[in-house]
Structure 1
Amino acid sequence: MLTLIPKRHRAPSDSEPIESPTEDQEAVDETATSPRKKRKTKTTEPDIAHAWTAGDRFKSAAATGLIWVFCGAGVLAFGANVLGNDAGPEAAPIEVQDAGQSQRVSAFASNFVDLYLSGSRDQEDQIAALLAQGVDTTISLPAEPAEIGDVTPGEAVQVDASTWVVTVTVERPATEEQPATQQYWQLPVITDETGSIAAAGLPSMVSTPGRGGLAITPGDQVSDSAVEDTITAFAQAYLAGQGETAPLTAPGTAITAITPAPYAEASVPSVRTSQEIPADPVEGDVVRTQITVSATTADGSVTQLGYTVDLRWRDRWEVSAINPTSTTTTEGDQS
């Protein structure tokens, strides 16, 4: 069911009485702006404050959701009439995780961990208000707020219909006692059919996720000079603006150089493939390579980049596809 969550500051309608804030609410509002909020400004913030017990707001959200459900039902009925009634046997329903709900849960977890780790004693009630009913609300925070860096939410893993677990990455800045570190915190989160969301417990620090037994087959080093020459020339044109990419790419391939060129120089120290490069290639032969590019900026900083590059033979090897990988390593300062 699609449920719309109302904005936190919703203008009251003519039919709704305007309630004066209670003393408890004023106390929460006064603590809403922490020293961390002064340190960084977030462009967007999910509606999470008192989300678990916001009764009137969720009644309105539920009513709005029913309207969308009826609209959706009308569209489905129309589609059934158009397609006819001979659609074959009915397939078993497939449960699909709601991507929008997953994003809301991740955002909630990130904000909760951020507030918990950077909060101070006068924000304990504010944090307790974000916990689900039945959770121990005995919270003890330091008198002064702690300084933390970026907080990045990970994927929200759905355990069952209402329970989620989110791993949040927290950057800890360097201090006189220790260098900058990266920490991982997990938070259990629960939701319900009305769209309410709350923490099912306090955050717990966990170890760095391991790579386990994951492995790839890197392939063999390429010793074909025609392949190496094409890839090197392409990397120089693509990343450093040295030459043109068009003469090096296969017909119909829409690959253009990055502009402005981010690097002054580019070399290719490694070209690997898991395929056997034909000694006498014929038109249409394709070879997929994994390459490492050593890219140098104008100030001399060197960055290692990885790409998967496909080559196709016409009367020579030409680049037919280029796909970036997810890993880069850097030496020196990047500009």
Structure 2
Amino acid sequence: MAFPSHFLFLMFFTIFNIYRINSLPEEPYLTLDYYSSSCPSAQSIIRSEMECAVLSDPRNAAKILRLHFHDCFVQGCDGSVLLDDTITLEGEKKASPNVNSIDGFKLVDRIKNKLESECPGVVSCADLLTIAARDAVLLVGGPYWDVPVGRKDSKSASLTLAETNLPSANQDLVSLIAKFLYQGLSVTDMVALAGAHTIGMARCENFRERIYGDFPFTAEMTSFTETYLDSLKSICSDINKGDDNNIAAMDYFSANLFDNSFFQILLRGEGLLNSDQEMYSSLLGVQTRHLVQLYAEDPIAFFQQFSDSMVKMGNISNPDSFSDGEVRKNCRFVNT
């Protein structure tokens, strides 16, 4: 049987990247007890601030988790996403995947100020964000995992890499897989990490193409589904009428609870984002479809894989930050 050329390319790309990833040396610099002597209260300070933030607004959990993801996919997990633009540095916040999509910077500032009061110049912003993302998930019902720490903050950022490395809401499955493989993350990691969309919201601009496109072809279109689609169209017009920033939950069943209902929604063909629904509905998604079914049926399997994949993503490094990095006093600016 002859395979389509794009399928053969995907197979080759996958095999090549698996070989490349497996041949990479292990990074020994991150440890669980890195701050045990220098700042033993670091984790409890971060947890306490996150508890207050999530209690006041559950959406803060999704904001911090998304910040961590957008940080790690650009230069590795080095806090570069937190940097503001200056005369001498162009940050990543204005990149198209980031502008109007990432938030939580004031919360990071608040946590950093607490850490600096307790342990000046010790805890990096990159570590802060990685630990806070774990706590964010835990505080809305998700799993716990140990976070290896010892990252340094970068002195640079990359608007270009933010434009090219971050997945977008309307990408096809092959492109999505390629972006995760480039980061050393497998297809299994990709599907599990997409489960983070069980919390948080999406902007109309990011789901307009989906609800006016193939939504009726992937969903069963029961009376409930028709009502749901109508409600989405009521907040997001088919052409931009100033409603780009209107939002909807990516998991309409339990938007503020970290669970596996997101995958159950994909099984019904009702995913809000094209990129999410592609994992189940794409003709090329043999492996991803199986994983969506698994996580929809087995929340324990989802929680375990999500935890493992978050550690793996959190270990994506920026070699430059370890040779020439720093611990920023203010997460928005490089130390002077």
**Which structure has the larger Rg over C-alpha atoms?**
1
Query: Normalising by the residue count of structure 1, what TM-score does the alignment of the two structures yield?
Result: 0.21
- Structure with the largest fraction of strand: 1
Query: Normalising by the residue count of structure 2, what TM-score does the alignment of the two structures yield?
Result: 0.21
- Structure with the largest fraction of helix: 2
